[in-house]
């Protein structure tokens, strides 16, 4: 059985910080289909549209009939662990630092046999379920997991390497005074975070709910305003070396489109918070997190951006806000590429309309702050890159794939 993870001791400030290393990341273009599925938390393989044969590894033509019509579809992840072996030596630096490491052969119920990383609670001959996970290089890998959850299952070293579990880690929530920020802080504590730093952008403004949250000794309030470069730099110098998970909940949402908004201050404010605020945070907190991406049990693992589904398609009624969120999404994609060099995962959360003060006139369904917080924790634990929260967000994703012009016209009405 998996041994429960113990809380790491305080680090000796004189000890060296292990430099981040990455597993081999070279993949073919076809194999990136596995990565796309893993990033969204799905299990998909290539299936031949002509003969129905399931393909693994991904290939250009069907292994059975040589057809080129291969489609990515969900398949049954069940299988049998035929045999496994534990490696005690590796020429690769990443695995050499993490030995012993277990791998095995799994015969899938869907047909193919695959080589996979093996969870410690799986035994040879057991029925297992395969899962696609992103490794530290951002590429998809197969992991064989027990069919039924086992005690302390998430503490397995192999599984923890492909997740960003908040357990025993310290997190920063950039705006802890918003309903979403307070919900995220509580969810991180419930998930096992040892300390949650919460930003307070308006120290002069009292909030009974925020004051109650700060009564928890694991919560540390910080005077952080993402529109103030001095504030961001000052806090980063104070706690930047302690943050292992950063959740950016700062946001500015207002009504209004482009044509009749002659006052550009609203556009400047939206960009300053949603886009430039992200830039300031990345430039001051990012390097320290990247440098601590291999720092033992409580290494820096994830950067989370709470955006909106309207970052993908503009909502004309809030056109300037949507544009600023689209700019933030573009910055997040750049940040994801730069953070990948150290193994820190960038997670984007896309909720639909949120149940807060700026959506009072929006008809249901609306997303509660707690649902967003739960989605953040779930994305961290499962190691996914993108999370869509709420019925509206999930519907829009499907429609953007099937009929983007139709959705654009509908939002315009």
Q: How many CB atoms lie within 10 A of CB 411?
A: 15
First to last CA, the chain: 57
How is the chain split among helix, strand and coil, in percent rounded to 5?
Answer: 35, 20, 45
pLDDT classification of 220: cutoffs 50, 70, 90: very high
Instruction: Measure CA 181 to chain center.
Output: 17
What are the Cα distances from residue 366, in Å, to 13, 183, 252?
A: 47, 16, 18
Mean pLDDT of 322-351: 96
Q: Mean pLDDT across the chain, nearest whole number?
A: 92
Would you give the DSSP letter of residue 316? Answer: G
The position carrying tokens 């991180």 is 188
Judge contact between 350 and 386, C-beta under 8 A.
yes
Q: What are phi and psi of 351, to 5 degrees?
A: -85, 160
CA distances in angstroms from 53 to 60, 105, 131, 137, 339, listed in the order given: 13, 20, 20, 30, 37
How many whole angstroms separate alpha carbon 175 and alpha carbon 308? 16
Structural domains present in the chain: 32-161 (2.40.50.840), 170-412 (3.40.50.720)
Q: What residues contact 49, with CB distance under 8 A and at least 6 apart?
A: 67, 69, 70, 71
Query: Is 187 a residue whose pLDDT tops 90?
Result: yes
CB 93 within 8 A of CB 21: yes
Task: Please check whether residue 376 is in contact with residue 166, taking contact to mean a CB–CB distance below 8 angstroms.
Answer: no
* 270 class by beta-carbon count within 10 Å (0-12 exposed, 13-18 middle, 19+ buried): buried
> CA separation (Å) from 413 to 17, 352, 366?
55, 18, 19
Indicate if the pLDDT at residue 405 is higher than 80. yes
Structure tokens at 171: 């997190």
- Exposure string (b/e) for 76-93, b if CB count within 10 Å is 16 or more? ebebbbeebeeeeeeeee
Percent of the chain surpassing pLDDT 70: 99
Q: How confident is the model at residue 172 (pLDDT cuts 50, 70, 90)?
A: very high
User: How large is the average pLDDT for residues 344-354?
Assistant: 96
Task: Let me know: does 103 contact 115? Beta carbons within 8 Å.
Answer: yes
> Using CB atoms within 10 A of its CB, is residue 8 exposed (0-12), middle (13-18) or buried (19+)?
middle
* Core vs surface per residue 371-403: b (16+ CB within 10 A) or e: bbbbbbbbbbbbbbbbbbbbebbeebbeeeeee
Q: What are phi and psi of 2, to 5 degrees?
A: -65, 135
Whole-prediction pTM value? 0.93
In which band, very low, low, confident or very high, does the pLDDT at 294 lie, cut at 50, 70 and 90?
Answer: confident
Of 133-147, 170-184, 208-222, 288-302, least confident by mean pLDDT is 288-302
């Amino acid at each position: 059985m998996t041994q429960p993870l113990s809380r790491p001791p305080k680090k000796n400030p004189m000890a060296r910080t292990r430099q981040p290393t990455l597993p081999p990341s070279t993949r073919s273009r076809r194999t990136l289909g596995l990565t796309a599925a893993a990033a969204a938390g799905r299990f998909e393989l290539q299936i031949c549209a002509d003969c129905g044969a399931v393909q693994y590894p991904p290939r250009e033509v069907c292994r059975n009939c040589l057809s080129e019509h291969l489609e990515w579809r969900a398949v049954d992840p069940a299988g049998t662990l035929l045999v496994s072996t534990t490696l005690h030596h590796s020429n690769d630096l990443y695995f050499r630092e993490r030995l012993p490491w277990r791998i095995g052969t799994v015969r899938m119920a869907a047909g193919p046999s695959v080589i996979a990383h093996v969870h410690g609670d799986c035994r040879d001959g057991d029925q297992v379920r395969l899962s696609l996970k992103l490794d530290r290089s951002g590429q998809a890998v197969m992991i064989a997991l027990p069919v039924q959850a086992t005690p302390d299952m998430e503490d397995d070293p192999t599984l923890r390497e492909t997740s960003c579990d908040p357990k025993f880690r310290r997190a920063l929530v950039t705006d802890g005074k918003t309903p979403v920020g307070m919900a995220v802080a509580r969810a991180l504590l419930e998930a096992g975070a040892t300390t949650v730093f919460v930003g307070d952008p308006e120290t002069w403004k009292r909030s009974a709910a925020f004051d109650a949250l700060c009564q928890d000794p694991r919560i540390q309030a910080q005077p952080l305003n993402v529109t103030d470069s001095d504030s961001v730099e000052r806090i980063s110098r104070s706690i930047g070396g302690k943050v292992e998970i950063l959740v950016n909940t700062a946001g500015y949402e207002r009504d209004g489109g482009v044509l009749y908004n002659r006052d550009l201050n609203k556009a400047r404010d939206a960009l300053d918070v949603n886009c430039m605020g992200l830039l300031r945070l990345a430039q001051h907190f990012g390097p320290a997190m990247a440098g601590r991406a291999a720092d033992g049990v409580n290494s820096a693992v994830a950067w989370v951006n709470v955006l909106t589904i309207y970052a993908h398609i503009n909502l004309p009624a809030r056109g300037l806000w949507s544009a600023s969120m689209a700019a933030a999404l573009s910055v997040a994609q750049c940040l994801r590429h730069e953070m990948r060099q150290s193994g820190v995962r960038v997670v984007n959360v896309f909720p639909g309309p949120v149940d807060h003060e700026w959506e009072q006139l929006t008809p249901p369904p609306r997303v509660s702050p707690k649902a967003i917080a739960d989605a953040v924790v779930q994305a961290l634990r499962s190691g996914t890159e993108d999370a869509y929260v709420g019925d509206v967000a999930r519907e829009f994703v499907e429609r953007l794939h099937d009929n983007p012009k139709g959705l654009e016209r509908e939002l315009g009405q």
